[in-house]
Structure 1
Amino acid sequence: MSIYDQRDPRFRSLIHPNAQLRQIGSGFEWAEGPVWFPAAQMLLFSDIPAHRMMRWTAETGCTVFREDSDYSNGNTRDPSGRLVTCHHGLRAVTRTEHDGRRTVLASHHAGKRLNSPNDVIARSDGSVWFTDPTYGILSDLEGYRASPEQDGSFVYRISPEGGDPVAVVTDFTQPNGLCFSPDERLLYVAESGSSHNPDVPPVIRVFDVSEDGTVGNGRDFAMIDKGLPDGIRCDARGNLWSSAADGVHVFAPDGALLGKVLVPEVVSNICFGGPRGNRLFITATTSLYVVAVDATAAGWPA
C-alpha cells in the first residue's frame, strides 16, 4: 500500500513513489524535536517524558545523547552549528557550546518565568525564535506542574546580542512549531490549541518579517484536516511540511495541500537531513522514521 496521498500534481516532484517509509528507532515515550547536524552526520531528538535526548547515526542507530535533558522538546542548530534546545523542565532555552557547556539564552520575560519553551528556530542573523505554550507545566508528565506566570502563550525573539526575549506574536492559544521561508521574510507558526480546546482551529498562520525582526500582517496559511499541526519545516522551494495525526502534510507556498506522507503513528515533528539533505526524518509518538524525498531544507546545508 502506498505511503502517499496525492492531492495536487505538484506533489509528484517532491516524492519518490517507490521510496519506503522506514522505522529506524522505537520504544520512545513521546519523540520530538529532531535536528540534523551535517558535520557529524547525526540526528538529535528528544524523548520528552523519558527526560532524555537521543542520537541517531547510520552506523550506530539510536543511542542516548543526554540522559538528563531537563525535559527537552524542540531543538535547532544556530548559524555557528551549535545545538539550541527548549526545555520544559528548566522553562528555558539553552545553547550547547562547542565545548559542551550550556548557556541559558532565555528563561524569563518581563521579570516572570516563561511557560515551557516548546520549539525553536534560528535566523541567519543569529537571532533565536521560540514558542512558549503551557504544555510543560500542565502536568508532571513532560515537565513540572505549575501555574503560568506569563499573561499568555507567545512567540519570542532573542536578538543576536542576547538579552530579554521580545514577544513578537501574542494572539495564539498554544503556539507550537515554527519555521521561516527560504528567504526568511515569512514566519510560519502552528496553532495547536485544539489539543485542549476543540474550538481552536488547527491552523498554520504566516507573518511578514522585517529585516529588523519585527513581525506583522498575520494571516491564516493552511488548515490541518487530521489532528493538529505541531512541528513544521519549509523546504528549499518554499513548500511547507507539517506534522499531523495521519502523517506529514505538504503545502505549496500558496497554501494548497499538495499531498501527504502517511505514517502509522501520530507525527510530532520533522526535519530534513542525511548526507545530501534529501531524507525526511519524522518523530512520531513512540518511533523515529525516515523516507527519501526530492526536497531539502531551506538554507541547506548551512
Structure 2
Amino acid sequence: MSSASGVDSDPASSPIPFPPLKDDEVLLRLDIPSNCGAGLNGPYLGELSNPPSHNTIGYGSAGTVLEAGPKCFLQRDDKVAINLLTPCRRCHACCRDKEYSKCISKSLHTQYTPGMFISLPRALVALLPPPLTLEEGSLIQVLALAVKMVNKADPKPGQGVIVLGVSCLGIIFCLLARARGVRQIMVVDRDDGRLNVARKFVRFLETQSADTVAVMTCVVPEGTDAANGAAAVVQAFGREADVCVNATGEYGLMNVASKTVKSGGVYVHAGVRESEVSWDVLGMWREDITIHGEVCCEDLNYEEAVKMVMLGEVSLREFCPQE
C-alpha cells in the first residue's frame, strides 16, 4: 500500500508519487480515519462528557475516491466506508483469496491521519450512496460488527439481554435486539451520565407490558468486584441474562459478565486485543455458556450494513455530530 500526507484532494500534489493502480485497487483520500482506542475521540459515547462539535462517534473510517481501477466500479468523488486494514496482499491463504482480515502480516493495523492518500483493494471499500454522509460511513463498521454480534448471540423474544457499557456498538446492538422482538434489555455502566447518553437513543421504560419494549439501566460503581457487580446487575434486571454483551472491549468485565449469564446462555465480547486474559473460563464452561469473541475489523459485511441504512432498517444519523 502506498500512502502520503496530502495538502488537498489531488494526489498529484503529494511529495510521494503513487504507482499505477491495479484493476481492483482504489486510491482514496482518508477523510475520517479509524479512531479506535483514541481516548476522548474513541468509540465510547460515555467518555464524551463535553464532545467537540465535530467529533466522530465510532471507530470506523470513511473517505473520498480519487481514482479507481476498472474493476472497482467507483467514480472520482464517490464517498466510501473503509475497512482500514493494511494487508500484505501476497500471502496465499488469505490475501490471494481476498480474506484480508486473516492476513499473516504483523502490521495489519496502521495509524493514519485525516487527509492522507491511501490505496486499498476494492474489497475493503463500500460505496456510500447519497444521501449517506462520511460521518455515517465512519459508523458502518460499528453497524456491521453489531449485526455480526447479534447474529452470533441470536437473541429471541422472551429472552433477557444485558449490555455492558455505553457505546455506539452497545446501543446499536440494543436496537437490533429490539427489532428481533426482545422485550427485556438492560444497559449497564459505572456512570449515570453515560447512561443519560444512551437514553437519547434507546427508549427507556421503567415498566413493561406486552406491547412495549422495556429497556432499563443499572449503575455499577467503579471498583466493585465481579461477584458484587454481577449480583447488583442481576438484582436490578430481575433475572439472569440469556445473552450478555460486553460492548466496551474491557477484559476486566469478563468475570462480571460470566456471573450474569444463566446456564446455557451466551456471552459476546467485542474488541479482542490482549493475548493474555485472566478470567473464569472454567466456571463458564461448567455453566455451559457459549462464548463469542469478535474482533472489530474481521469478516464484517460492510455492504449489508450500508443496505440496512439505505432501507431505513437502522439510522446512524443520530450518532453523528450535529451542526
**TM-score, normalization: structure 2?**
0.26
- Which structure has the highest helix share of the two? 2
Higher strand proportion (structure 1 or 2): 1
Normalised to the residue count of structure 1, the TM-score between the two structures is 0.28
Q: Which has more radius of gyration?
A: 2
